[in-house]
Structure 1
Amino acid sequence: ERTCRVATTAPDGRPHVAPLWFVWDGESLWLNSIVRSKRWADLRRDARVAIVIDAGEQFHELRGVEISGNAEVVGEVPRSSEPDDRVANAELLFARKYMGGDHFMADGRHAWLRIKADEIVSWDFRKNAALQQWSR
């Protein structure tokens, strides 16, 4: 999938959810976030985060994953175009996924967040025979 939904906690305790592009490197989820955003401010104050990535149109097709953990800032804030081995792999994955090539273009407004999952929960309604019967 191309878009995830990132949930953070505002200073008053209310949740804040926003869509964002992401990459998974096999161990961590990486988010390239605008540093002047509510999400960034929330995560700098409280690093706890929950992220949902899902797919499916009809109810019986729904599937996805929820990842919860802590967001860690990696690299410069904001990210410049100087080479940085700490984020090089995430940038390559991001460029291939969203930019159609191997070159990541930093815009000076975003920075990298790495989420190492404390918990991963998945679901797949396609595996539920009762839902498949109901959908026909």
Structure 2
Amino acid sequence: MSRRAGITMTPEEVAAFLAEGTVANVATIGPNGRPHLVPLWYVPKGDVVETWTYGTSQKAKNLRRLPQATVLVEAGESYDQLRGVSMECDVELVEDAERVTRIGFELTRRYNANEQVATAATQFVRVQARKRIGLVFRPTGMVSWDHRKLGGTY
């Protein structure tokens, strides 16, 4: 009997898990048809994930050609602690300078616990935003798991 349903996260658990995660592994399709996999910092918005990248990066080129990706956020050091969310996503490429800058500010705040450092980075973010595009990953399909729900049994 499958225990899959017993380890699936609720929508609230998915949102909380994404909020505590730090790295999203993002797979796009490269020009040769193979997956191109990269780790990215991200800002969670429920089950939507936002980030930015250089406009000339390979992932940006891939997403301009095919605005779809698979996003994986995972955690756990042993089988009984494994948790993860894998999302098939449609991807919005954001080129509006204000929106890209906002994403950059949100990333800076999320990954710099020191508010003074985040505030000091304001000009840096504005300069970087000119070279970057925003990426908004909206799930069209999702699989989640939390092996802690197994209670130590397999």
Q: Same fold (TM over 0.5)?
A: yes
Provide the aligned C-alpha RMSD in A.
Answer: 2.2
Q: Deviations over 1:10-29 (max 9, x none)?
A: 12211111101111122521
Query: Matched residues, percent identical?
Result: 30
Corresponding residue of 2:82: 62
User: TM-score scaled by structure 1?
Assistant: 0.78
Question: What displacement does 1:92 show?
Answer: 4.5
Stretches of 4+ aligned residues off by more than 2 angstroms: 86-93, 99-104
Corresponding residue of 2:108: 95
- Measured in 1, the distance between the counterparts of 2:147 and 2:112 equals 31
Please identify which structure carries the higher helix content: 2
Where structure 1 has 5 or more consecutive residues not aligned to the other structure, the ranges are none
User: TM-score scaled by structure 2?
Assistant: 0.70
- Say yes or no: does 1:111 pair with 2:139: no
Please identify which structure carries the higher strand content: 1
Where structure 2 has 5 or more consecutive residues not aligned to the other structure, the ranges are 1-20
Corresponding residue of 1:16: 36
Alpha-carbon distance change, 37 to 91 in structure 1, aligned in 2, over 3 angstroms: closer
Question: What displacement does 1:133 show?
Answer: 4.3
- Measured in 1, the distance between the counterparts of 2:112 and 2:133 equals 17
> How many residues of Structure 1 are paired with residues of Structure 2 in the alignment?
125
